[in-house]
Structure 1
Amino acid sequence: MPLRWPFLERGSKVFVGCLSEEHMSRHINAETVVPKEAWTSDVPWIDKDDCDIDAYVGSLSERPDFDLAEKLRRWRDDGVVVFEQAVASDLIDRYLEDIDTLVRDYDTYEVPIEIRGQQMSSRDIDGFPANLTGMKLNHMHCFSLAAARLSLTSVVTEFLEHVFRMPPSVCQSLTFWRGSEQPIHIDYPYVRQQKKLSFLAASWVPLEDIHPNAGPLAYYPGGHKLDQSGFFDWGEGSIIYDEHSSRTPGDFAQYLRARMAEQEIAPRQFCPKRGDVLLWHGNLPHEGTAVRNAELTRKSYVTHYTAESELPDWMRNYDKQGHPRGVFENGGYSYRFRWFDACLSG
């Protein structure tokens, strides 16, 4: 049976119903205390003190078209890498068409969204909240074939395969319509489904040219290093945020602002052109800056990745013949969630 994509395959069955927060929340790490050793006990080779980038690159029988050694050094030193004009314009167009479909028929689909920190379904709202800041579409790589392919942009998957020394696999995606104005934060306390906490990276693809007054993304170069960021104690020594935490994301932001100030690390704004892509380390502090012109959009697409070997089994999806279900190209993996297929067959 061919894989159905409700947006891209215009004649396919409409996807309705059965989305539940339980599908996702029941799998998230339920330990009340996750100590810092969960990060430090096993990290990618490039995060180790004895990593030798030149030796690694020299050992490769094939090298990518870009300067791999230079990009790996930027990753090690700054925690960020930029590839200019790496994303095909027609692929962005196709994804924006899928977003237009959702905006027009938001009550037909049941896409998980977040508005100002509140989780809900697109069918629960009175209208698509395009004018609100802090709105996210979650997991669009399950609903849109174009989104899944954006996540698997070739230079991204190729570079991350060298970071992880393992093919990358998508574990989450987020779509922003406007500047999020999200305070300074680090991803791993929130994105923690991967087996090894430190095997985490993200990509940020602008779906349009980003104006400085639209609330662009900002990041803190070098802040990903543990001696710069330290570990925030969410309660009882736990380094992740969950229902047991005694401290809040606001406390975390205050802690990170103080740490970056102490280390004299200033934020750097990212105002890319459509089709550029930014990759960042799972421990890199970053934020959404203030929106200075409310008329401006800041359409962008974020993907979080782990190494394929570190993707938990519950996030994998296979048909009855054992074939993986999702998109698998350019050496990367984007499984479609099992609950999505259950909804389609319901």
Structure 2
Amino acid sequence: MNPFAQIVSSIKRRISSSSQSPMGMPPEPEHLETGVARNWDINPKDFPWFDQPNALELLEKRRSAEHLSDEDYNLLRKWATDGYCVVSGIVPDELLDTMMLEIDQLWIADRVCEGLDFHDLKVGPNDAPIKLTHAEVLALETTERFAARDKSNWRIHSFQEYSPSAKAIFYDAELIRLTSLIFGYPSIPEATINFMYGSAQNAHQDMSVFHVFPPNYIIGCWIACEDISPDSGPLMFYPESHREPLFSEFKDYPQTNLRTASPELTQAYTSYVEELTRKYERHLFHAKKGDIFLWHGQLLHGGSEIKNPKLTRKSYVIHYFPPEMNVGPHMKGPFNW
């Protein structure tokens, strides 16, 4: 058994062996064939414990039944109340530095990472951002390649498949323990992104980007790979906004979300979120290197305005799900990405 499987197995045994546990386990996920459409019946009773009306009562019972430490209890209370929590001291600086060095080396590599893409690269001075494969990036003339690197707000996905250091962070035992603790169910890391600069992304909810069933079984994890300057476009978020329901126009969620929505529905969602942000106070995450921001799938978040585009905002994002609750492979296209 590999180390990751051992971690998940240990957590699952701990949860299932607690006969006093106040939480009902989530419904067993159905084993579906990839690409096969089905009807999805959303029942709020199947939502995670922290989204139940009596979440804080359930937490008190968990504290007793699972002998939670004060630190874990406070983290879970913060999560249930505000929709996020911040931890630090988990990922060593040396590991973050090595990962960033491995990303830098992609631009001068003598071997192609097959399947690795660079998103939103601007090659020509007036060109729109495009996606290029690693092979296409290395084929650019050297000065053109470095110019594209330095002037583009680019990102890469799934770097853990190519980088030993990114993989070590991806499978970090404490991050898996914490996200499993929040779910009350074993978690699996998936869907990573490495950012070099601030995203300047509009506020959104991850539930509207991913296909998750039952709803809200997703945790976002944003790791600062350097001290974040306030002028670089820090992560923005809206505490307590996780209590908002799913966008009502995604009528057959998880089939319909931003990945499958029409342009008209996408615009309706954008307007809806803009209105929601007026209900909550915006916060900025002024992170130090190694700080980790964990957030609920319904928490409004995005990238704040970039005041100095020359400043980097190096970060590594991981998303966690219980097994088989990321149901994206079972959705029917066409897809927007």
Same fold (TM over 0.5): yes
Residues 132/173 of structure 1: CA separation in 2 closer, same or farther (3 Å cut):
farther
Counterpart secondary structure, 2:99: helix
Q: Does 1:307 align with 2:319?
A: no
Residue pairs, 1:201-216, within 5 angstroms: 201-216=219-234
Supply the AA of the counterpart residue of 2:291: D
Q: Which of the numbers 247, 262, 269 marks the counterpart of 2:284?
A: 269
> Which position in structure 2 is the counterpart of 1:108?
112
Residues 107/216 of structure 1: CA separation in 2 closer, same or farther (3 Å cut):
farther
Residues 313/222 of structure 1: CA separation in 2 closer, same or farther (3 Å cut):
closer
Residues 107/180 of structure 1: CA separation in 2 closer, same or farther (3 Å cut):
farther
2:35–2:329: 8 Å Cα contact kept in structure 1? no
Residues 79/244 of structure 1: CA separation in 2 closer, same or farther (3 Å cut):
closer
> Which position in structure 2 is the counterpart of 1:156?
175
Q: Does 1:242 align with 2:259?
A: yes
1:179–1:297: 8 Å Cα contact kept in structure 2? yes
Counterpart secondary structure, 1:115: strand
Aligned counterparts of 2:42 and 2:35: Cα–Cα separation in 1: 12
Aligned counterparts of 1:248 and 1:89: Cα–Cα separation in 2: 42
- Across the aligned residues of Structure 1 and Structure 2, the Cα RMSD in angstroms comes to 3.1
TM-score of the two chains, using structure 2 as the length reference: 0.73
2:228–2:313: 8 Å Cα contact kept in structure 1? yes
Residues 152/79 of structure 1: CA separation in 2 closer, same or farther (3 Å cut):
farther
Residue pairs, 1:184-195, within 5 angstroms: 184-192=203-211, 194-195=212-213
Counterpart secondary structure, 2:272: helix
> Which position in structure 2 is the counterpart of 1:319?
none
The count of residues paired between Structure 1 and Structure 2 equals 281
Counterpart secondary structure, 2:150: coil
Aligned counterparts of 2:208 and 2:273: Cα–Cα separation in 1: 13
State percent identity of aligned pairs: 22
**1:70 Cα deviation after fit:** 1.0
TM-score of the two chains, using structure 1 as the length reference: 0.72
> Which position in structure 2 is the counterpart of 1:223?
241
Counterpart secondary structure, 1:247: helix
For structure 1, the 5+ residue unaligned runs are 3-26, 316-346
Kindly provide the CA deviation profile for residues 65-97 of structure 1, in whole angstroms up to 9, marking residues without a partner as x.
x61111111111111100133321111122112
Aligned counterparts of 1:82 and 1:305: Cα–Cα separation in 2: 16
Aligned counterparts of 2:270 and 2:111: Cα–Cα separation in 1: 35
Q: Does 1:44 align with 2:56?
A: no
Counterpart secondary structure, 1:108: coil
Residue pairs, 1:133-172, within 5 angstroms: 134-172=153-191
> Which position in structure 1 is the counterpart of 2:135?
123
Q: Does 1:71 align with 2:88?
A: no
1:45–1:163: 8 Å Cα contact kept in structure 2? no
> Which position in structure 2 is the counterpart of 1:174?
193
Q: Quick check: 99-108 or 251-260, which moved more? A: 99-108
Aligned counterparts of 1:107 and 1:306: Cα–Cα separation in 2: 33
**1:43 Cα deviation after fit:** 1.4
Aligned counterparts of 1:106 and 1:49: Cα–Cα separation in 2: 56
**1:284 Cα deviation after fit:** 0.9
Q: Does 1:91 align with 2:95?
A: yes
1:234–1:245: 8 Å Cα contact kept in structure 2? no
Aligned counterparts of 1:184 and 1:311: Cα–Cα separation in 2: 22
